[in-house]
């Protein structure tokens, strides 16, 4: 099979999936800086997607003053998981 036809589909799914999740977390953080209403449907969708990753960290790490470090820690953990998953996958999966 030619090299240009060998797609790393699982690599792409893992990489883009986690990148999209990280981007959604960034949008949620920026929305929280502007104090957008939590009842807004867009913010509720963002919370629905990102809460499974942020809430476990939030239970362990409490806010420091006005800073909520759970986003930053969850972000770091997602990047680490992405790196570990991509290294563990065999080539051309």
pLDDT at 32: 82
Number of domains in the chain: 1
Domain that holds residue 12: 8-87
For residue 12, tell me if it sits in a domain.
yes
Q: How confident is the model at residue 14 (pLDDT cuts 50, 70, 90)?
A: confident
For residue 3, tell me if it sits in a domain.
no
For residue 25, tell me if it sits in a domain.
yes
Between the CA of residue 15 and those of 29, 49, 79, what are the distances in Å? 21, 17, 10
Q: What is the CA radius of gyration of the chain?
A: 17
Q: What residue spans of 5-40 are helical by DSSP H?
A: 9-33
Does residue 1 have a pLDDT over 60? Answer: no
Mean pLDDT is lowest, of 39-43, 51-55, 57-61, 71-75, for: 39-43
For residue 93, tell me if it sits in a domain.
no
């Amino acid at each position: 099979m030619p090299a240009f036809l060998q797609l790393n589909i699982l690599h792409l799914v893992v990489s883009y999936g986690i990148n999209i999740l990280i981007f959604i977390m960034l949008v949620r953080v920026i929305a929280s800086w502007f104090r957008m209403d939590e009842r807004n449907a867009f913010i509720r969708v963002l919370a629905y997607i990102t809460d499974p990753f942020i809430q476990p960290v939030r239970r362990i790490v409490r806010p420091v003053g006005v800073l909520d470090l759970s986003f930053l820690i969850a972000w770091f953990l997602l990047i680490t998981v992405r790196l570990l998953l991509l290294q563990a996958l065999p080539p051309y999966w």
